[in-house]
Chains A and B, each alone.
Chain A
């Protein structure tokens, strides 16, 4: 037996696994092994933090949207991402940890968020590329997570997936107008693709063999498909979209392989991957500092709201 399960009641554990195998959802008040709970605490909060930190790179362009329509769409999109953060914090709170605690762990560096948001959004086409590639990669992952075994997480993912597919389309729409626009716009589009391609591939995580927590997560159907399976799905779906745009994926080995039925591709620079995860990406410090600073600056507002609520309750009781 896995070491993490040695304190669990074997009978309960057996029933738990039987439920999972029968595709029944686990709900907050049901028995669950501590390792399952811990895995979800980590994964759902990481997911929630990613939605919220992800508001920053796109927010970087919000004051510079080039048309009324673009501005409306980007604001609504970033607002959706914040809303996803809310669903996910709520789902994560069903595991017995408060949102405040999750935020503390984030600020203390104990909780992570998707590393891809540590990259910079440098030109307007990046807003397109983030929607198309980053949201596109997220969808591949999230479609699979709609069937995850934990009920609140699964239900949050169903809602989120509906909005994410809009996001991907809005991103692709920007890419289309940039790729079909002036020479300068096309150059921006290619530049954005060059910079966001590999970070998007990295979003699926390490190769299956190097992913330490994958096996229990698969057994418990928290994860339904492996990192490498999902990554290949994304590549197969996305390369033809790039071709349609007349843009080139920054990988000369990326070609369709008749024998496998998949696109071949050059492996990720794993040193960069691990460096970014460890805090040495272009914006790790800035993103976290921004979140922490805003949270600290909002302290007096939250305190005022609580103080006012207390006074009001007192008056009502009296």
Chain B
């Protein structure tokens, strides 16, 4: 059970941590200054969430590690984040769509997690949910603005919606570790979230005039450490200093 809790804490922590890295890459790349700052804000919230989950993972771990170790010193395959958050910042439409898919997911998941039988899970969810609601409002508004803005913005956001759809199946996969937790009432059944997720996403698509992607074959495997080709490059940069100067304290 402890191992299962650890796995899920790592899953949540890594998802926020890797996404925050993508968001920090956007610093000074915003389409205007206010949005630049907004993206950093969302990124900072995700670092905060990552830290909470990783700290809890350290408590659950049999090894003597701290959150920095987990964030910076693991091998690629040991990260359990969803693949969606590895996708690069191709353009603003991709940034917003990636965020939107995850915000809807986080909103549903954290809402359920507030009822978790694990007190720490529930507490982290309670705190995170406040932030997630803001994130969701921000990304949903942009989805509608881009979908119903100009011809160009519509086309760009539709492309992003189509391309990133591939990575959304991964959000709802339930390997054994998560199934054990669901049986104990610690996490919701992730597969059950899928219908609600799609409903919320399609509501926004409708407002935005965006079409639902038509394909069904979706990526999965992040639970087992199967990642996209992008993650290795992200870790190279992120882990550069701790890898190069192993004895240093920063």
Q: Which residues of A contact B (CB under 8 A)?
A: 52, 55-56, 59, 62-72, 75-76, 78-79, 82-83, 85-86, 89, 124, 174, 177, 181-182, 184-185, 290-291, 294, 297-305, 307-308, 311
Measured CA separation A250–B132 after assembly (Å): 49
Selected interface stretch from B79-87, B108-116, B149-157, B173-181:
B149-157
Measured CA separation A303–B146 after assembly (Å): 9
Cβ–Cβ < 8 Å partners of A294 in chain B: 28-31
Selected interface stretch from B65-73, B122-130, B160-168, B198-206:
B65-73
Quick check: A85 and B33 within 8 Å, CB to CB?
yes
Measured CA separation A27–B150 after assembly (Å): 40
Contact string against A for B residues 25-38, beta-carbon threshold 8 Å, 1 for contact and 0 otherwise: 10111111111110
Cβ–Cβ < 8 Å partners of B153 in chain A: 300-301, 303-304, 307
Quick check: B30 and A298 within 8 Å, CB to CB?
yes
Cβ–Cβ < 8 Å partners of A290 in chain B: 28
* 4 A-B pairs closest in CB distance: A298-B31, A304-B149, A304-B153, A301-B31
Measured CA separation A307–B154 after assembly (Å): 11
Measured CA separation A73–B92 after assembly (Å): 25
Known contacts A124-B241, A301-B153: A59-B146 contact under CB 8 Å: no
Q: Which residues of B contact A (CB under 8 A)?
A: 20-21, 24-25, 27-37, 40-41, 43-44, 47-48, 50-51, 54, 67-68, 71-72, 91-92, 144-146, 148-150, 152-153, 156, 237-238, 240-242, 245, 247-250
Quick check: B33 and A67 within 8 Å, CB to CB?
no
Quick check: A181 and B249 within 8 Å, CB to CB?
yes
Cβ–Cβ < 8 Å partners of A302 in chain B: 31-32
List 8 A-B residue pairs with CB atoms under 8 Å apart, sorted by A's residue number: A62-B25, A76-B40, A82-B40, A182-B245, A185-B245, A300-B156, A301-B92, A303-B149
Distance between B39 CB and nearest chain A CB, rounded to angstroms:
9
Quick check: A298 and B24 within 8 Å, CB to CB?
no
Quick check: A75 and B248 within 8 Å, CB to CB?
no
Quick check: A63 and B237 within 8 Å, CB to CB?
yes
Cβ–Cβ < 8 Å partners of B25 in chain A: 62-63
Known contacts A72-B44, A75-B40, A302-B32: A182-B250 contact under CB 8 Å: no
Measured CA separation A304–B237 after assembly (Å): 33
Known contacts A298-B92, A300-B153: A68-B71 contact under CB 8 Å: yes
Quick check: B40 and A78 within 8 Å, CB to CB?
yes
Cβ–Cβ < 8 Å partners of A181 in chain B: 248-250
Cβ–Cβ < 8 Å partners of A64 in chain B: 237-238, 240-241
Quick check: B27 and A185 within 8 Å, CB to CB?
no
Q: Which of B34, B40, B41, B250 contacts A86 (CB 8 A)?
A: B34
Quick check: A184 and B44 within 8 Å, CB to CB?
no
Interface of A is mostly: helix
Measured CA separation A70–B54 after assembly (Å): 16
Q: Which of B27, B146, B242 contacts A304 (CB 8 A)?
A: B146
Known contacts A82-B36, A184-B245: A75-B27 contact under CB 8 Å: yes
Q: Which residue of A lies closest to B145 (CB)?
A: A308
Cβ–Cβ < 8 Å partners of B36 in chain A: 55, 82
Cβ–Cβ < 8 Å partners of A70 in chain B: 250
Quick check: A298 and B237 within 8 Å, CB to CB?
no
Measured CA separation A75–B40 after assembly (Å): 7
Cβ–Cβ < 8 Å partners of A299 in chain B: 31
Quick check: B148 and A308 within 8 Å, CB to CB?
yes
Measured CA separation A31–B153 after assembly (Å): 45
Q: Which residue of B lies closest to A79 (CB)?
A: B40
Measured CA separation A177–B20 after assembly (Å): 25
Q: Which of A75, A82, A311 contacts B44 (CB 8 A)?
A: A75
Cβ–Cβ < 8 Å partners of A82 in chain B: 33, 36-37, 40
Q: Which of B33, B71, B247 contacts A52 (CB 8 A)?
A: B33
Known contacts A56-B28, A68-B67, A75-B44: A304-B34 contact under CB 8 Å: no
Distance between B164 CB and nearest chain A CB, rounded to angstroms:
17
Quick check: B37 and A79 within 8 Å, CB to CB?
yes
Cβ–Cβ < 8 Å partners of B40 in chain A: 75-76, 78-79, 82
Distance between B27 CB and nearest chain A CB, rounded to angstroms:
5
Cβ–Cβ < 8 Å partners of A83 in chain B: 37
Cβ–Cβ < 8 Å partners of B41 in chain A: 79
Distance between A129 CB and nearest chain B CB, rounded to angstroms:
15
Quick check: A303 and B150 within 8 Å, CB to CB?
yes
Quick check: A59 and B144 within 8 Å, CB to CB?
no
Quick check: A124 and B33 within 8 Å, CB to CB?
no
Measured CA separation A300–B44 after assembly (Å): 26
Quick check: A311 and B148 within 8 Å, CB to CB?
yes
Quick check: B150 and A304 within 8 Å, CB to CB?
yes
Quick check: A300 and B51 within 8 Å, CB to CB?
no
Cβ–Cβ < 8 Å partners of A72 in chain B: 44, 47-48
Q: Which residue of A lies closest to B39 (CB)?
A: A79
